[in-house]
Amino acid sequence: MQTTPTLKVLGPSLAGALALTAATAHAQTQNYPVKPVSIIVPFSAGGDADQSARNLMVTAQELLKQPIVIVNRPGANGAIGSQAVLAAPPDGYTLLLARVGSQAILPALKPPATLKYAWNDFTFIGLLEVNPVVCVVHPDSPYKTLSDLSKALKAQPGKLNYASSGPATVQNFAPQVLLQSLKLKPDAAVGVQYKGGSEVAMAVLTRDVDFACNNLSSMAGNISGGKLRALVTTTTERLKQFPSVPTASEEGHPDMEAVVGWSALYGPARMEPEAVKRWVDVLNKAAADPRWITANGTYGGIPRVISPAETEKFVNVSFNLYQKLGQKLGIDLN
């Protein structure tokens, strides 16, 4: 009876080749990185996500001894850049600057079949920082306080407008939670969409919109320079950088505290464990680096580096929160 040749019969040369391939792959992982690493930012240059990535780039390049290339891939509320990372090889050379909008809010409002990814489809490497949300107006605006703005919204429903990067962003959720708190309909203020946090801030600076609720990291410099007036922060305590800005609870809108931004570092699904370990080490060292900490403060970020497992739990909580908020506010992107 004729038998089919087996791997054992085909022999030493094939077995040796397989062993060599495995050894080479292991060596490359052990020596990671041996070439530049790309971090895809799914939003436009100059915004809070971009600043977070470039701050990390400075420290990571020194520690990894390889260039870190920041690639801006804006579009579809961060979905385009996120999808690009998910489709990349899991070798650790293409990473994602994850944001609350693209990695928690968007998956909470759109089914995976439509979005093409779920909140937990990626490899969690670590949280970087949290970003308070601050509502601002132009310094020449007649609205000196959140109470002034609230009165105008009630008196002229549908007349005032605000800037956001789309429905699935904290920039949209914060005004919508405010409107709900005021017992107003979602269209009591008109949302105008822009590509990223920097453009949202610019829309208020140029008075193209009446107000915006944006991550502090996109607006801290303009607030400090008197080019924007901050009315309220979503943090539970007043910001050390801007102690005169009242909290949402102080203004009578505690529900707004649920709206807070964050940045994290992700990789494609099933990313090489050794590459993950190397980046975890980088983030832990960044968390102790005075330059990285100080730079976070310049754009309004509050450093909060945690482990991959803790990051996954944190994002899960964020995802569930926005899913409930979306249902409560009637925001549906299907």
Q: Would you say residue 117 lies in a domain?
A: yes
With both helix axes pointing from N to C terminus, report the angle between 273-287 and 12-30 in degrees, rounded to the nearest 10.
10
Residue 91 pLDDT: 98
Residue 237's CATH number: 3.40.190.10
For residues 155 and 221, state if they share a domain. Answer: yes
| Cβ proximity of 85 and 96 under 8 Å | yes
For residues 52 and 102, state if they share a domain. Answer: yes
Mean pLDDT of 23-40: 77
Mean pLDDT of 276-303: 92
What are 165-201's pLDDT values in tens digits?
888 788 999 999 999 999 999 999 999 999 888 899 9
Q: How many helices (H) and strands (E) does the chain have?
A: 14, 11
Residue 325 pLDDT: 87
How many domains, the chain?
2
Q: Where are the alpha helices (DSSP H) in the chain?
A: 7-10, 12-30, 48-64, 79-86, 100, 106-109, 112-115, 146-155, 170-181, 197-205, 220-224, 273-287, 290-298, 308-329
3-state secondary structure (DSSP) of residue 85? helix
Per the listing, tokens 């703005």 go with 149
CA distance 28 to 90: 13
On the CB side of 56, CA atoms within 13 Å amount to 35
For residues 309 and 201, state if they share a domain. Answer: no
Residue 5 has pLDDT above 50, yes or no: no
Q: Would you say residue 219 lies in a domain?
A: yes
Residue 133 has pLDDT above 90, yes or no: yes
Max CA-CA distance within the chain?
Answer: 94
Q: Would you say residue 82 lies in a domain?
A: yes
Residue 298's CATH number: 3.40.190.150
Query: Among 207, 249, 208, which residue's Cα sits nearest to residue 232?
Result: 249
Q: Would you say residue 2 lies in a domain?
A: no
For residues 192 and 212, state if they share a domain. Answer: yes
Q: Which domain holds residue 113?
A: 37-131+260-329
Percent of the chain with pLDDT over 70: 91
What are 262-285's pLDDT values in tens digits?
999 999 999 999 999 999 999 999
Q: Tokens at residue 115, please? A: 């979005």
CA distance 190 to 329: 15
Among 258, 276, 299, where does a domain finish?
A: 258
Percent of the chain with pLDDT over 90: 71
